[in-house]
Amino acid sequence: MPEEIQIYTDGSALGAPGKGGCAAIIIYNTTFNDKNIVKKIAGYQITTNNRMELMAVILALQSLNPNVSYNITLYSDSKYLTDCFNKGWMENWNKNGWKTADGKDVKNRDLWDKIVQLMSHHTIEFKWVKGHANNKYNNMCDRLARAEAEKNFNTLKTDKGYLREVEKEKIEQRRKRKKKEERKIKEREEKKCINWTYSFEDKKENKKQQDNDFKELHNFKEIHDLKELPFTFEIYEEEKKEKIKGILELLDEKNDPAAKEKEERKKDVMNNTSDKAIKKFRKYIEGKDPYSLVSVNEVKRKFDEIFGENR
């Protein structure tokens, strides 16, 4: 039957990162006799608290006889350590290719791998205890780990795994920064291209509108420059009768023997002229070449022809 032992572990770091220390207390035969208690400690130059919590477990397991299997109850005040095994984090990480739930790399993988390797021929139950409480051996581990962390920097070991992880993170940050810069450059180029396209299309549209405006203005000017046609027949809904009145006034000549008849005709037209006749006359005027001379007599004849049909 495998021998039962108890292990207490704790880690400490003076900063994040900073100098760190780890400690483990191994109690054989569970008799709590000082002769059956083994203490293991180690200190590191630059590391983190979580790494020291894991390193304490490695320190304890490495000190065990490799040819003996133990039933181990391991006590720690680190939820980071106990939850990994009690809540199935390790299984999920393995399934996801050592990625966290949000897709990031699992930190401290080198230490997790080492722990799994060392506990392979042991049976281990991980139990969480409240830190800085009334647990004698947990408090002892805490004091030992902190004492290691407070030692002179030059006397401490180098946490090569942490340095490799830091370098890896720096490379990843540089890669992300470069990718972000490339994306910004691409977005600026696309925006510049879009703005140029819009600008080009706007200029085309504006040029077309300017050409149309100039043409209309030119035609309007030419029509008004004609001595024999001193009006423009632009009919709007609210101005229809005023325009007709203006046209009919052209027919009022002082020496015209039919002035009275034309006056009656004007009133009749003002009261009874249909929109159809107005549109027809407008179409006739607009269809005229603005660069050709149009005689008043010709306008009169057309007026008589169109409005005579609608009397």
Domain that holds residue 304: 226-308
For residue 71, pLDDT beyond 80: yes
pLDDT of residue 261: 66
pLDDT: which is higher, 273 or 276: 276
Q: Are 198 and 84 in contact (CB under 8 A)?
A: no
Residue partners of 85: CB distance under 8 A and separation at least 6? 124, 126
- Domain shared by 134 and 154, yes or no: yes
- Among 105, 126, 158, where does a domain finish? 158
- Domain shared by 10 and 154, yes or no: yes
Helices 240-249 and 259-272, packing angle to 10 deg: 170
- Domain shared by 107 and 250, yes or no: no
The arithmetic mean of pLDDT across residues 250-261, rounded, is: 56
Q: How many CA atoms lie within 13 A of 184 on its CB side?
A: 6
Give tens-digit pLDDT for 210-225: 556 555 544 444 444 4
Give tens-digit pLDDT for 87-115: 999 999 999 999 988 888 899 999 999 99
Q: How many CA atoms lie within 13 A of 200 on its CB side?
A: 6
What share of the chain has pLDDT > 70, as a percent? 59
The arithmetic mean of pLDDT across residues 44-72, rounded, is: 94
pLDDT of residue 115: 95
- Among 102, 135, 158, where does a domain finish? 158
Distance CA 130, CA 118 (A): 25
pLDDT: which is higher, 164 or 191: 164
- Domain shared by 56 and 9, yes or no: yes
Which pair of structure tokens corresponds to residue 150? 């407070």
Q: Are 311 and 269 in contact (CB under 8 A)?
A: yes
- Domain shared by 231 and 149, yes or no: no
- Among 171, 193, 223, where does a domain finish? 223
CATH code of the domain in which 147 resides: 3.30.420.10
The arithmetic mean of pLDDT across residues 5-24, rounded, is: 94
pLDDT: which is higher, 287 or 273: 287
- Domain shared by 7 and 72, yes or no: yes
Residues with a known catalytic role = 10-11, 53, 77, 132, 142
pLDDT of residue 185: 84
Q: Are 63 and 40 in contact (CB under 8 A)?
A: yes
As a whole number of Å, the CA-based R_g of the chain is: 50
- Domain shared by 30 and 120, yes or no: yes
- Domain shared by 25 and 10, yes or no: yes
For residue 194, pLDDT beyond 80: no
- Domain shared by 48 and 154, yes or no: yes
- Domain shared by 219 and 256, yes or no: no
Per-residue pLDDT band for 31 (boundaries 50, 70, 90) equals: low
- Domain shared by 277 and 296, yes or no: yes
Q: Average per-residue pLDDT in the chain? A: 77
Per-residue pLDDT band for 58 (boundaries 50, 70, 90) equals: very high
pLDDT of residue 279: 62
What share of the chain has pLDDT > 90, as a percent? 41
- Domain shared by 78 and 149, yes or no: yes
Give tens-digit pLDDT for 110-143: 999 999 999 998 999 999 999 888 889 999 999 9
How many domains would you assign to the chain? 3
For residue 50, pLDDT beyond 70: yes
pLDDT: which is higher, 311 or 192: 192
Local structure of residue 239 (DSSP, 8 states): G
pLDDT of residue 62: 94
For residue 10, pLDDT beyond 80: yes
Q: Please indicate, yes or no, whether the overall pTM of this predicted structure exceeds 0.95.
A: no
